[in-house]
Structure 1
């Protein structure tokens, strides 16, 4: 229970994954919000695996490896900010999605972007390596299996919470897209937030 409560606080706290999911739900509807939630969740799996197998410890001790991954993440966040700002496509309220012809492309782009956001975040890797061992006893005979169980709980909780964010954003979509000025400022706000998160990561 202590682990679940702590993990819930961590997952609910807004970050790049939450921002990505909310942006997808607002701009492309329920399906995109759920797809983004799934993509962000999938992006946590390599991080959890790295913590379990000890790869995160190598990343923590290797300054070069950490810096490379960090700046790849910074570059990707800045690219997300730029692409969001340049996105001039119109939004429609048709069944809570974009027009049918653009849905497949949107789905693939959303899930790839969501996965990359978490995969290229070294802070998430270090979070796993620092967070999971706190809930495994020193005398635990099956420590790896225990960490795998905790990681699975964290991943499932991430999916549920992020899906909730995506659906909540999608319910507000009709009110947002009926106001072109709001849409423009919304995109600027998302772009600025992505850029700010990239800057924060660069100086972490």
Structure 2
């Protein structure tokens, strides 16, 4: 119960993954938001498995490995944000008329792209690896098999994440019906772009 409560609070804390999932839900619908969420959780599960196998401990032990992944993650966030700002500018150039969707924003292309956005966002976050290797072991009962218990906790962490983000996707998808005007969507692109760029810059500027 203590682990579930802590994991839920962590899931509710806003971050890059929240921004990406909300953006995809607002601009491309609930299915795209759910795809981004699944991609993000695949990345979270990968960090959990890495923690169970001891691989993410390298991020704690190696300053170079951490810095390389941190700067790569910052670059990814800035790229996502810049792309969102560019899309907002394109829509503005259309005079606020018909919405210009990203290439492949319909059908499988949109879902696949949303999944990749979520996956890359989670995978490029070194703090997730450090968090997994420092947080999960605290809840392994004394005498329990460490590897098996860490894998169970990782799956439970992902399940709690999924439940929270499904609520987020549903709420944002509902708001999308009320905020579907091109001018509003363009403004949302601008806001999400600025937030993502800001998160990337902050990640790049942070010390370990």
User: TM-score with structure 1 length normalisation?
Assistant: 0.90
Q: Using the alignment, how far apart are the partners of 1:103 and 1:84 within structure 2?
A: 20
**1:164 maps to which of 164, 167, 187:** 167
Deviations 1:52-108 (A, max 9, x none): 11111112111111111111101100110011111146549xxxxx9x982221111
Aligned to 2:154: 151
SS at match of 1:177: coil
Aligned to 1:199: 201
Aligned to 1:31: 31
Aligned to 1:106: 110
Q: Is the 8 A contact 2:26 2:172 kept in 1?
A: yes
User: 1:5/1:144 Cα in 2 relative to 1: closer, same or farther (>3 Å)?
Assistant: same
Written as runs of structure 1 = structure 2, the 5 A alignment for 1:46-61 is: 46-61=46-61
**1:182 maps to which of 161, 181, 184:** 184
Cα root mean square deviation, aligned = 2.0
Q: Is the 8 A contact 1:38 1:111 kept in 2?
A: yes
Deviations 1:122-178 (A, max 9, x none): 0000001110111124x4241111111111100111112112111211111121112
Aligned to 2:66: 66
Deviations 1:24-76 (A, max 9, x none): 11000111111111111111121111111111111211111111111110110
Q: Is the 8 A contact 2:28 2:105 kept in 1?
A: no
Q: Is the 8 A contact 2:22 2:169 kept in 1?
A: yes
Matched, 1:17 2:2: no
Q: Is the 8 A contact 1:28 1:91 kept in 2?
A: no
After TM superposition, which residue ranges in structure 1, 4 or more long, deviate above 3 angstroms? Answer: 88-92
Q: Is the 8 A contact 1:91 1:177 kept in 2?
A: no
Q: Is the 8 A contact 1:59 1:65 kept in 2?
A: yes
User: 5+ unaligned residues in a row in structure 1: which ranges?
Assistant: 93-97
